[in-house]
Amino acid sequence: MSGTTWIETFGSPLYVYELARVREAHEALRRALPEPSVVYYSLKANPHEALVQTLVGLGCHAEVSSTGELRAALDSGCLPQHVLYTGPGKTTAEIAFALRQGVIQFSVDSRHDMDKVLEEASRQRRQVRLVLRINPDEPVPDLPLTMTGVPSQFGFDASLLLEEGGAAQLDPGPWGAIVGFHIYMGTNLTTPESLLRMYAKTIELAHRLAAALRIELELLDLGGGFGHPFIKEGAPYDFSAIRGPLEANLEAYFPQWRQGRPAVAFESGRYLVGAAGTLYSTVQDVKMSKGQQFVILDAGIHHLGGMSGLGRLTRISAGLVKVSGDRTGAETATAVAGATGWTGPGGAARLPRPAPGTAQPSASEAMPKRQQLAAAGSPALHAEPPQESAAEVAGMLAHVVGPLCTPLDYLARNERVPLLEPGDIVAVPNAGAYGLTASLIGFLSRETPCELVVDEKGELSCSQLTLRRVKEEVRSYAR
């Protein structure tokens, strides 16, 4: 099946997730990490049940920071004792819900946060494991996005815990035990060197804190930071060089880490699922305005926002691959000059990203509002793409925008894109993480795209997120 066929069946725009890419990414990450170690999948990257279920089946635990993410993890088969509940500002209601589901491990960001967990644990008479999130005294230089080391809502300030008497302020009482540290210093790093610098500081700080607080560490969560190309062509970054130096660093500070004292854990979201997702969209209009070209898609920041719609993060810049079919139904992809090629986690070229199978959507997830996918033979891809003209190779410089009635709906500004016209299908690669659920899906009350999952056998399932207002009886509190 092809992107054009999928869109004919399930509508445009359309997200497609390939589970084989998730498995490849997990295998690559595992090869790069110390052994033994635990990998927590961060559901914030993409909570789609099929992705979570695949990763849980591969042995991942779950890092969640809401009751919705917790439900997704548990519904996907994750054991509650394998969940780490994180996030500042946890409410009593969500703590109570998590405890009732059997969650026993919480990352806590302050004494008050810890007390709320302990109070609810006492009410439910459940023992909890507390992991102290730590805000280091200074950031690691040259990290693209610093999580800690600056004034932050995340974590206990390390300097306060290292002061004399720091241990006394952390007595958890009879219903809790402080078992470890959670230190997440930076995110979306792209080189082994930057990761190793970050982890070296993290491990040394954890050793000092454990000694100062007289804690026998059972868990050391080193966070994540594993970057991945986002909505651009490109292969996942190679982090295989970190394993040896990282194991040596752990040996130096925690000689018994291989025996689980402490167990070493990492978190990853974008690296595990980034390559799995592609957003297909249809060109609605191409227009010139005051000397500048605009390509208007039926997908916008309500489908692919990357949280940039908040205006507080670096603006996204999507790279487009033009998907077109020939008379035989075979599909080719056109990239512009300078593009690196569309590659999978293993580095194999994939131009474009068709699913390798033809099975029907599962009855449980197939959309009733869309026609069922008919069984058909999978068209073969061209061994060699057809020759392109110089103009096609050069592409055009354009702003890529969505259909929303706001001037903020930009997917790319002054981006080199293929030559496009209304009706063309384009694909945005590496859109598996921070895609739909990180977007402004409620803005302008537009319909969300269907999400199509392709498993290793080529079988398809389709589902759709919906926002629905539930009317409830309004009680009057007027006196």
What residue segments make up the domains of the chain, in order of their start?
A: 3-12+275-464, 19-274
Does a cis peptide bond (omega within 30 degrees of 0) precede residue 262?
yes
Q: Is 258's pLDDT higher than 70?
A: yes
H/E stretch holding 15 reads: strand 14-18
Mean pLDDT of the chain: 85
Q: 60, 405, 450, 462: which is the annotated catalytic residue?
A: 405
The confidence score (pLDDT) of residue 29 equals: 99
Closest CA to 425 of 341, 321, 327: 321
Could you give phi then psi for residue 16, rounded to 5 degrees?
-125, 130
Tokens of 247: 């194991």
Which of these CATH numbers, 2.40.37.10, 3.20.20.10, 3.40.980.10, 3.40.50.720, describes 3-12+275-464? 2.40.37.10
167-197: per-residue pLDDT in tens?
Answer: 778 999 999 999 999 998 888 999 999 999 9
The tens digit of pLDDT for each residue in 347-370 reads: 333 333 333 333 333 333 333 333
CB 361: neighbour CB atoms within 10 A? 21
> What's this model's pTM, rounded to 2 decimal places?
0.85
Phi, psi of 233 (to 5 degrees): -65, 150
DSSP state of 70: H
Tally Cβ neighbours within 10 Å of residue 394: 15
Concerning whether 405 is annotated as a catalytic residue, the answer is yes
CATH topology of domain 19-274: TIM Barrel (3.20.20)
- pLDDT bin (cut points 50, 70, 90) of residue 271 is very high
pLDDT mean over 29-35: 98
Residue 454 pLDDT greater than 80, yes or no: yes
- Rounded percentage of the chain residues whose pLDDT exceeds 70: 79
Q: Same fold for the domain at 3-12+275-464 and the one at 19-274?
A: no
- Taking each continuous run of H as one helix and of E as one strand, the counts in the chain are 11, 21
Dihedral through CA 283, CA 312, CA 314, CA 237, nearest 10?
-100
Question: pLDDT, tens digit, for every residue of 101-145?
Answer: 999 999 999 999 999 999 999 999 999 999 999 999 877 766 655
Q: Report pLDDT digits (tens) over 322-352.
A: 886 443 344 556 655 444 344 333 333 333 3
